[in-house]
Amino acid sequence: MEEIQQPTPAYQNSGITRKRDDYLEWPDYFMAVAFLSAQRSKDPSSQVGACIVNQENKIVGIGYNGMPNGCDDDLLPWSRSADDRLDTKYPYVCHAELNAIMNKNSADVKGCTMYVALFPCNECAKLIIQAGIKEVVYLSDKYHDSPEMTASRRLLTMAGVQYRQFKPKKTEIVIDFNSINHPGMLNSATK
């Protein structure tokens, strides 16, 4: 019996025969969203972003560090040290974790995972616990030995919130707006 010749699918003619295998994996994607959000921060010394994800891998909240809504960030101080603590940013600034929780677009964030650039401080640990977030994935732990981080670990552990350090598959993700115009180039260059 003669074999029926099937037409070659168009995608094979273009040289693309199978799906990409260097696509961003979910954890890298969510951490990248946190880092992209941090680019919105006006803090000159520390830009932190957070991204809350539910059990269906859907993003339900994003935030970055900044002054409270309606409080003029040109009038409030951004310095890290001053003779008077009221002249530093610390009493005023909202951390990324707080903003991500408050910005949630779901009824609640119970059972969710938070991706955040820096290990959360003790104040954010309280918010994370009270919001019902069950897991924290952080990238840097550079303030590990401070009392705030020590208290934070103590609280998170007692409350049964898991936390783990994120090891990115790629150290850099480049977003090139021009890539969409290059045939065969997919819309994110990654290395």
Judge whether 186 and 179 are in contact, CB under 8 Å.
Answer: yes
Packing angle, helices 122-131 and 147-159, rounded to 10: 20
Question: For residues 36 and 151, which CB has a smaller minimum distance to Zn ion in the complex?
Answer: 151
Nearer CB in complex with Zn ion: 62/121: 121
Within 10-49, which residues bind Zn ion (CB under 5 A)?
none
Instruction: Return d(Cα 127, Cα 121) in angstroms, integer.
Output: 10
The radius of gyration of the chain's CA atoms, rounded to the nearest angstrom, is 22
Total of residues contacting Zn ion (CB under 5 A)? 3
Query: Please, what sign has the CA dihedral across residues 106, 109, 111, 116?
Result: positive
Closest separation in Å from C-beta 121 to Zn ion = 3
Closest to Zn ion by CB, 100 vs 173, is: 100
Annotated binding-site residue numbers for Zn(2+): 95, 121, 124
**Residues tagged active-site:** 97
Residue ranges of the binding site:
95, 121, 124
- Given the rule CB under 5 A, which of 12-20, 94-102, 149-157, 177-185 is the region that contacts Zn ion? 94-102
Q: What's 94's DSSP letter?
A: B
95 binds Zn ion (CB under 5 A): yes
Could you say which of 59, 114, 117, 124 contacts Zn ion (CB under 5 A)? 124
Contacts of 126 (CB under 8 A, 6+ apart): 155
The answer to whether the beta carbons of residues 122 and 153 sit under 8 Å apart is no
Choices 12-20, 63-71, 95-103, 165-173 (CB under 5 A): range interacting with Zn ion: 95-103
According to DSSP, the β-strands at 162-165 and 135-140 are parallel
Among 121, 137, 149, 156, binds Zn ion (CB under 5 A): 121
Q: At 155, phi and psi to the nearest 5?
A: -65, -50
Selected range binding Zn ion among 35-43, 91-99, 139-147, 175-183, rule: CB under 5 A = 91-99
Binding site for Zn ion (CB under 5 A): 95, 121, 124
